[in-house]
Amino acid sequence: MSASSPGLRKGSLGTSDIAFFVISAAAPLTVMAGVAPIALTLGGIGAPAGYLLAGLTLAIFAVGFTTMSRHVRSGGAFYAYITRGLGPAAGIGAALLAMIGYNGMEIGVFGLLGSATADTGAALWGVDIPWLPVSLAGLLIIWYGGYRSIDFGAKVLGVLLVAETGILLLLAGGVLLDGGADGLEFSSFAPSQVLVPGTAAVLAFAFAAFTGFESTVIYRREARDPDRTVPRATYAAVAFLGTFYAFIVWTVVQAFGSEQVVKAATDDPGGLFFAAITTYVGPWAADLMHVFIVTSIIASLLAFHNAINRYALALAEEGVLPKSFGRIHPRHRSPYVAGIAQTVLGAVVVLGFAAAGADPYTQLLLWVNTPGMIGLMALMLLTAIAIPCYFRRIRHDEGVLRTVVAPVAAAVLLAVAIYLIGTKVELFTGASTLVNTVLLALVPAVFVIGVGLAYQLKRRRPEVYANFAAEPPELPEAPEAPGVPEVPGARKAAEAAVPEGPEGTPTTEEAAHRGSS
């Protein structure tokens, strides 16, 4: 990117804005109404504890992750961290896996958008809405949201997130005020209910419910005071999702009673939350929940779309993707070319599945999302391994708890989580053994292909390989809005307030490390 070209809109996002992106990507209402009943069916009333355990694991991962974010300022997030710790070959393999993983997580959800809208139309108005036009319209809506400025996206996600969490809190409030089916009790968190064979399946679903929380660091260049904002947003997202998921599932257990909830979830998993809110709040709230599930899906799509665009932008700046992917819109300060490319890719995949007569939920969503989800978890595992390797090679003032103990513990826990998901993959896909084997094999295959491409890059373009995931140049500030007069003396005061060592400048320890290597 040339010095005269526009950059991303710096200083646009605060802690709450970034947290909105992350929590919206997880789609709390969709996860609760659509997936939590299956967790209850498989794990019994101890399912709420599974979400707490998953949140605790990811909080441990976040310790090392956010510590490294103070030292690695690249917009490439996972692949940049892996490159610094494990080398450029592993980093480029991770970059390809990240692009496939995030695209898989988004594109598959367009199938869910179509099927959920069809379900809502049938439930509320008795009309049959075809899924394909809805999915294609969704592609255009999400493209426009990503095309606009990042603060526009944050405002949209803020409204949608309040709506979807609000309807779940309304359900919880109704249950708590009424006292539940048999009175409120906490047996869901008793060891005898948590330490059961079905907990492994619950943990697999619980980890999947947090997918996308790590994308906080992708917005570093657009954050206000990123050294503080990014870690705060990461911890806030993990804490909120873990406690919120556990609380909502616990209230649903109370709504039906510990003796009846598993049978209710087994008999009608898709209707469990709707039956609960109808009983404790009213039919109008169930109708509202149908609508908010659709908006929850739209919020998740927009959050992933913005994350993908910034990954593509970072890779274009690295010289790995075409330079055109690095173009920034002069007005909206968005990576609009990357957004167009991602939208076209999504349309091709959606139309391909439709042409093959595939089901939008059981095939487009589940078959595309599953390897995407596992791929992102594999990236977290590689990142956890890379963190102590990175800090061993540089001089730093970080404590051993943050740089060694927490990352190693996270790596072990994430490896267990990936194993659980792999062994329970049929619960996610409902597919044959052959299809499941292919879906699981895609993740290591993509990484190996990426490593192979890295070595080709090393031979053909050694300068790109050598500088992969290096500290980015300082991007220009967005120009001031036209017509707004400058306050006399304000610019000098602002310049005086800026400390030496602007963001994007390599830290002292990294400079020393590079000089010695």
User: What is d(CA 94, CA 311) in angstroms, rounded to the nearest whole number?
Assistant: 12
pLDDT, average across residues 168-190: 94
Q: What is the pLDDT of residue 74?
A: 67
Report CA-CA distances (Å) from 331 to 34, 150, 215, 240, 325: 39, 12, 24, 34, 17
- In sequence order, the 6+-apart residues with CB closer than 8 A to the CB of 51 are 206, 209, 241, 242, 245, 246, 249
Residue ranges of domains in the chain: 15-76+105-351+400-424
- In this structure, of 50-54, 172-176, 195-199, the range with the lowest mean pLDDT score is 195-199
- In this structure, of 56-70, 246-260, 461-475, 497-511, the range with the lowest mean pLDDT score is 497-511
Task: Give the dihedral of Cα atoms 88, 443, 57, 185; nearest 10 deg.
Answer: 160
State the burial class of residue 479 (Cβ atoms within 10 Å of its Cβ: 0-12, 13-18, 19+): exposed
- In this structure, of 3-12, 48-57, 200-209, 394-403, the range with the lowest mean pLDDT score is 3-12
**Mean predicted lDDT score pLDDT of the chain:** 85
Looking at per-residue pLDDT, the higher value among 483 and 70 belongs to 70
Does the pLDDT of residue 348 top 90, yes or no?
A: yes
Does the pLDDT of residue 511 top 50, yes or no?
A: no
Amino acid at 408: V
Does the pLDDT of residue 473 top 60, yes or no?
A: no
- In this structure, of 153-162, 263-272, 431-440, the range with the lowest mean pLDDT score is 153-162
pLDDT in tens, 423-434: 888 888 888 999
Task: Tell me if the domain spanning 15-76+105-351+400-424 has CATH number 1.10.260.40.
Answer: no
CA-atom Rg of the chain in angstroms: 23
Q: What is the pLDDT of residue 472?
A: 55
Does the pLDDT of residue 384 top 60, yes or no?
A: yes
Q: Which of 299, 303, 305 is nearest to 343 (CA)?
A: 305
Q: What is the pLDDT of residue 479?
A: 46
Model pTM? 0.83
Q: Tokens 């005898």 appear where? A: 192
Strand-pair partners of 251:
none
pLDDT in tens, 351-375: 999 999 999 988 999 899 899 889 9
Q: Band of the pLDDT at 317, cuts 50, 70, 90? A: confident
Q: What is the pLDDT of residue 499?
A: 42
Q: What is the pLDDT of residue 6?
A: 64
Does the pLDDT of residue 4 top 50, yes or no?
A: no
Strand-pair partners of 223:
13
Residues above pLDDT 90, as percent of the chain = 54
CB atoms within 10 A of CB 427: 15
Q: What is the pLDDT of residue 494?
A: 40
pLDDT in tens, 264-285: 999 999 899 999 999 999 999 9
User: What is d(CA 132, CA 323) in angstroms, rounded to the nearest whole number?
Assistant: 33
Residues above pLDDT 70, as percent of the chain = 88
Does the pLDDT of residue 517 top 70, yes or no?
A: no
